[in-house]
Structure 1
Amino acid sequence: MRELIAKAASEGNITLGTKSVIKGIKNSEIEKVIYATNIPQHILNNLKYYSKHFSIEIESFGNDSRHLGELCGKPFSVLVIGIKSTKKHRKK
């Protein structure tokens, strides 16, 4: 998973943050959601709801938000990222 995140980040194919990721899910722009282990439960529940509703894969990063931010090349913590879809989808 680290390779997927690092590659997507280097290519500019990630979306950072809960609001942006949920918007991307709704617009069929996200193909996978990855979240940090220290994500608050209410945010995780929200992400799981939209991921299930729009049939998007969701997976734990397996480490905290500080490490996820570092892997994305950011100097700040990141709770959730969306891997942008490489295919163009029609909006639902």
Structure 2
Amino acid sequence: MDFNASLRKAIKTGDVLLGQNSTAECIKDGKAQMIVVAANCPSTYRTMLDEQNDVYVHTYEGSSMQLGKACGKPFMVSALAIVNAGESDIISLKRA
């Protein structure tokens, strides 16, 4: 599975929220199926995510700039929440 292609497909066909604040709100509301964080995500935010046992957190191997580019955005993205994957198979990472 090409992670970047699956991520772009999820953004295009599903419901994905970008940014730390939106992601935290989504977790709090219990809507997130999966969280993706950049490798250089701030440690305080990462610690908060690690305390969440009810949602799978995937660490993207690249920086927040690379994650933003993978999302097709011209800005940095350090965290995102996948609410609905749409036609993407990205949620299958939870089982891997």
Whether these two folds match at TM > 0.5 is yes
How many pairs align? 83
SS at the partner of 1:81?
strand
Deviation at 1:12, TM superposition (A): 4.8
Aligned 1:75-86 pairs, distance under 5 A: 75-85=74-84
**CA 1:40–1:48 in structure 2 vs 1: closer, same or farther (change >3 Å)?**
same
Deviation at 1:4, TM superposition (A): 2.5
> Structure 1, residues 45-65: CA drift from partner, whole Å, max 9, x if none?
01222x31xx10001011111
| Structural RMSD (CA) | 1.4
SS at the partner of 2:75?
coil
Aligned 1:1-92 pairs, distance under 5 A: 1-49=3-51, 51-52=52-53, 55-85=54-84
Deviation at 1:13, TM superposition (A): 1.6
* Residue in structure 1 matched with residue 94 of structure 2 by the alignment: none
Question: Counterpart of 1:5 in structure 2: which amino acid?
Answer: L
SS at the partner of 1:30?
coil
Question: Counterpart of 1:85 in structure 2: which amino acid?
Answer: N
Distance in 1 (CA, whole Å) between partners of 2:4 and 2:70 is: 8
TM-score, normalised by the number of residues in structure 2:
0.78
TM-score, normalised by the number of residues in structure 1:
0.81
- The alignment-based identity, stated in percent, is 27
* Residue in structure 1 matched with residue 91 of structure 2 by the alignment: none
Unaligned runs of at least 5 residues, structure 1: 87-92
Structure 2 contact 19–77 (Cα < 8 Å) conserved: yes
